Amino acid sequence: MSRIVADGISVLRERRAIVDGVSLAMEGGQFIGLIGPNGAGKSTLMSVLAGLLAPERGTVTIDGAALAAFDRRRLARLRAYLPQNPRAEWPVSVERLVALGLTPQLPIFGALPEAMQARVDAVLAMVDMASRRDQPATTLSGGELARAMLARALVGDPQVLLADEPLAGLDPRHALDGIGRLRGLADGGKLVIASVHELTLAARYATHIAVMRQGRLIAFGPTAQVLTAALLHEVFEVDACVTGAGTPGAVVDFVPTPAQA
Q: What are phi and psi of 176, to 5 degrees?
A: -65, -40
Whether 230 shows a pLDDT value over 60: the answer reads yes
Q: What is the mean pLDDT of residues 132-154?
A: 90
pLDDT of residue 76: 84
94-128 pLDDT, tens digit each: 998 898 888 766 654 556 677 788 889 999 998 88
Using alpha carbons only, what angle is made at residue 142 by residues 139 and 148, rounded to the nearest 5 degrees? Answer: 75
Q: Is 148 exposed, middle or buried (0-12, 13-18, 19+ CB in 10 A)?
A: buried
Length in residues, the chain: 261
204-224 pLDDT, tens digit each: 999 999 999 999 999 999 999
pTM above 0.75, yes or no: yes
Nearest Cα residue to 196 out of 252, 148, 125, 237: 252
Spatial distance between the Cα atoms of 68 and 212, rounded to a whole number of angstroms: 24
- CATH code assigned to 3-255: 3.40.50.300
Q: Where are the domains of the chain?
A: 3-255
Q: What is the mean pLDDT of the chain?
A: 90
In percent, the amount of the chain with pLDDT more than 90 equals 64
Spatial distance between the Cα atoms of 221 and 125, rounded to a whole number of angstroms: 34
Nearest Cα residue to 246 out of 208, 217, 195, 212: 208
pLDDT of residue 106: 62
